[in-house]
A = this chain, B = another copy of it.
Amino acid sequence: MDFVGSHILSIDQFERPDIDRIFAVAVLMEPFAQRKRVTKVLDGAILGNMFFEASTRTRISFGCAFNLLGGEVRETTGIENSALAKGESLYDTARVLSGYSDVIVMRHPEAGSVAEFASASRVPVLNGGDGANEHPTQALLDLYTIQKEMLAKQRQLDGLRIAMIGDLKYGRTVHSLVKLLCRYKNIHLHLIAPAALQMPEHLVEMARANGHTVHISEQLEGSIAHVDIAYSTRIQEERFGSRAEADLYRGKFRLNQSVYTQHCEPNTVIMHPLPRDSRAEANELDTDLNENPNLAIFRQADNGIVIRMALFALTLDVVDAIDDCSQAVGWYTGSRFQ
């Protein structure tokens, strides 16, 4: 695809070469995100960071990515009091707001809203999440993280063995990840979930139709024995039909250091879309994994910055100018990436 001037709405837009291009640009962004260099390539450009649904982390990540390229950020948070609440159409909102900035990131609680907005926008729109529908930068940062972790072991995405654990029925991130992995070859998918929360059948079929191996299980132990990546997601109790059913699975999908040591290969990488619920009753990653060097969840968050920088650079056509506009960092950066 031609990224210049394009809206980024869905991972369905990307063929494998497109993903390779995004990831190649993301690699170029690393020195800037890690504060080894500063670039001002977007000096004078304005991002409209329009979050019509609150999301601190994603909002700040997009905003910082734009600042790291030298641009300015104007933003809004929440739908209350906005013109949308007074009956303004997404068409009108887009026509107005797209006259204010050079690019827009939009998050909105309704599926399809961002595409509708984009169709009336005069500047490129990046989907920051539209309800149950899509959150393409999360999917890309997940895949970029997997590729980076594999490359550190001289491995490729082709041939990847990955376990997806937890609520695979409602989890938007794992759905997107399965779709993206269908662009690659010979993937071994281990789908570990309570029966009522398994991956939707059409995605399982899609994976198999692409020649991938799919293992389905209700048991963590055994199923995570031979994987490169263990991707954990939250199970919310209210997803089960009854308390009795919830009790049946309680703690069975929780990954901690003891389970890891006993059941995983030594270098299995642990991922999670974040935020992680660290309360005692939560059914996900235990905090005793925090010292495990294979816990990649914070590297995932860091990778979100470079993926978002890459998409801005590609849609605004400044990839080739980034280095020319770069300079040394003049302030303390010592503790940043240890």
Residues of A within 8 A of B (CB): 4-5, 35, 38, 40-46, 48, 54-57, 59-61, 63-64, 67-68, 70, 72-74, 76, 78, 80-83, 86-89, 91-93, 95-102, 122-124, 274-279, 282, 287, 290, 297-298, 301-302, 305, 315-318, 321, 325, 327, 329-338
Taking a contact as CB atoms under 8 Å apart, the answer to whether A301 and B99 are in contact is yes
Given A88-B277, A274-B83, CB of A100 within 8 Å of CB of B61:
yes
Taking a contact as CB atoms under 8 Å apart, the answer to whether A87 and B282 are in contact is yes
Interface centre among A59, A72, A124 (most CB of B within 10 A): A72
Taking a contact as CB atoms under 8 Å apart, the answer to whether B54 and A81 are in contact is yes
Out of B54, B57, B92, which one reaches A274, CB within 8 Å? Answer: B92
Taking a contact as CB atoms under 8 Å apart, the answer to whether A56 and B76 are in contact is yes
Residue of B at shortest CB range from A316? B331
Interface centre among A35, A67, A336 (most CB of B within 10 A): A67
A-B contact pairs, 9 of them (CB 8 A): A4-B332, A56-B76, A56-B81, A91-B278, A92-B275, A92-B298, A99-B301, A99-B305, A317-B332
Taking a contact as CB atoms under 8 Å apart, the answer to whether B35 and A56 are in contact is no
Q: Contacts A61-B100, A87-B278, A88-B277 given; 11 further ones with Cβ under 8 A?
A: A4-B334, A46-B67, A57-B97, A59-B76, A73-B74, A87-B279, A91-B278, A100-B305, A123-B335, A318-B330, A318-B332
User: In whole angstroms, how far apart are the Cα atoms of A332 and B7 in the complex?
Assistant: 13
Residue of B at shortest CB range from A278? B89
Number of copies: 3
The distance from the CB of A124 to the nearest CB of chain B, in whole angstroms, is 8
Given A87-B275, A99-B305, A318-B331, CB of A67 within 8 Å of CB of B72:
yes
User: In whole angstroms, how far apart are the Cα atoms of A123 and B58 in the complex?
Assistant: 19
Residue of B at shortest CB range from A318? B331
User: In whole angstroms, how far apart are the Cα atoms of A54 and B85 in the complex?
Assistant: 12
User: In whole angstroms, how far apart are the Cα atoms of A287 and B90 in the complex?
Assistant: 12
User: In whole angstroms, how far apart are the Cα atoms of A134 and B105 in the complex?
Assistant: 32
The distance from the CB of A32 to the nearest CB of chain B, in whole angstroms, is 9
User: In whole angstroms, how far apart are the Cα atoms of A98 and B45 in the complex?
Assistant: 25
User: In whole angstroms, how far apart are the Cα atoms of A93 and B97 in the complex?
Assistant: 30
Out of B35, B44, B81, B96, which one reaches A301, CB within 8 Å? Answer: B96
Contact partners of A124 in chain B: CB under 8 A: 332, 335
Contact partners of A92 in chain B: CB under 8 A: 274-276, 278, 297-298
Taking a contact as CB atoms under 8 Å apart, the answer to whether A44 and B332 are in contact is no
Residue of B at shortest CB range from A101? B64
Contact partners of A302 in chain B: CB under 8 A: 99
Taking a contact as CB atoms under 8 Å apart, the answer to whether A122 and B337 are in contact is yes
